[in-house]
Every structure is written in structure tokens, then in C-alpha cells.
């Protein structure tokens, strides 16, 4: 991805054979050896990506419902080791397919609801990979804000 090879090599050496721990408040877990033993995921820029994490949000990527089920079970098993539990009611699955064949007959994967779109980190993500719905949503939010400001200005003039 354009990163100089000597930096890639340095980072790889820094983390190989390393150990890690997890801190929750002031409690430290036992140390463990982090590993990347999952080979499924989507290819982006020549790299396999199976998950993205931001704060307490995790997005998993798999190439099939079976792989997603396996990945979610693995994540659930490892999470339980650290006292964390996945809330299946809040967990959503989405089949992304730009050919618009998004398997509407599939309503559940790994005991989680399959949705056509969802809000992630403030943005509407849709299963067709497009942004039309997100642009319309943001325009509606802006329109509502403008109408609210106009009402406030109108009320001030009286």
C-alpha cells in the first residue's frame, strides 16, 4: 500500500513472537500470544481483512454465511475468555452484493438478524455498496435542521 519495505519489516519484527494483555478499568488479563489464524475475509489492496474495530464496535467480514458463523463463534469464544459477551439482539448481519442479489430469503445468520442496511459510526451502510441512501438521509437531516432554524427565527420576529 505504498509503505516503505523497511518500515513494514520493522513493524513485523516488532510484533512477531510478542505477547499482549487486555486492560479493563484497572484489571489486567493474563498475557497471551496474539495470532492471526483466520484466513477468510475480503481482499482490499491485496490484504485479507476479516474485521475492523473501533472502540466497542466490531465489523466482521466473511465470504460466506458458513464462514461468518465460524468467525462469530470464534470471536464469541475468545470474548468470553475476557468476560465479554456478544449481544445477539444488537448484532446485525448484512450480505453485501453489488449485483443486487442480496439473498433476501436469508433472514438470520448465526442467530443474528440479516438487514439490508444499518447505521455504523454515524453513516448508513447499505448492502448494495452504494451511497445514494446515505446522501438522501443526510439531506433529510439538513432539511429538518434548516426548517427548525426557520421556525426559531419566525418565532423570534413576533
pLDDT by 10s per residue, the chain, length 158 = 688 888 888 888 877 778 888 888 888 888 887 776 777 888 888 888 888 888 888 889 888 888 888 999 988 998 888 888 888 888 999 888 766 666 777 888 888 898 988 888 889 988 888 889 999 999 999 999 999 999 988 888 66
Which CA distances in Å does 79 have to 47, 73, 118? 25, 10, 24
From the list 89, 97, 87, the residue with the least C-alpha distance to 129 is 97
Is residue 152 within a helix (H) or strand (E), and if so which, with residue range?
helix 132-156
Pairing verdict, β 42-44 and 112-114: unpaired
C-alpha cell at 87: 449481544
Q: Where are the beta strands (DSSP E) in the chain?
A: 23-24, 27-28, 42-44, 47-49, 51-54, 57-60, 92-93, 108-109, 112-114, 117-120, 123-126
Rounded Cα gap, residues 29 and 132, in angstroms: 44
Amino acid at each position: 500500500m505504498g509503505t516503505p519495505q523497511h518500515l513494514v519489516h520493522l513493524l513485523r519484527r516488532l510484533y512477531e513472537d510478542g505477547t499482549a494483555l487486555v486492560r479493563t478499568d484497572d484489571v489486567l488479563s493474563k498475557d497471551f500470544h496474539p495470532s492471526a489464524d483466520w484466513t477468510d475475509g475480503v481482499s482490499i489492496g491485496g490484504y485479507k481483512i476479516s474485521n475492523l474495530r473501533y472502540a466497542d464496535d466490531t465489523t466482521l467480514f466473511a465470504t460466506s454465511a458458513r464462514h461468518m458463523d465460524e468467525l462469530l463463534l470464534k470471536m464469541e469464544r475468545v470474548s468470553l475468555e475476557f468476560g465479554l459477551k456478544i449481544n445477539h439482539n444488537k448484532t446485525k448481519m448484512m450480505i453485501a452484493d453489488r449485483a443486487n442479489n442480496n439473498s433476501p430469503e436469508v433472514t438470520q445468520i448465526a442467530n443474528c438478524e440479516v438487514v439490508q442496511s444499518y447505521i455504523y459510526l454515524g453513516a448508513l451502510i447499505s448492502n448494495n455498496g452504494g451511497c445514494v441512501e446515505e446522501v438522501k438521509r443526510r439531506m433529510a437531516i439538513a432539511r429538518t435542521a434548516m426548517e427548525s432554524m426557520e421556525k426559531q427565527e419566525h418565532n423570534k420576529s413576533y
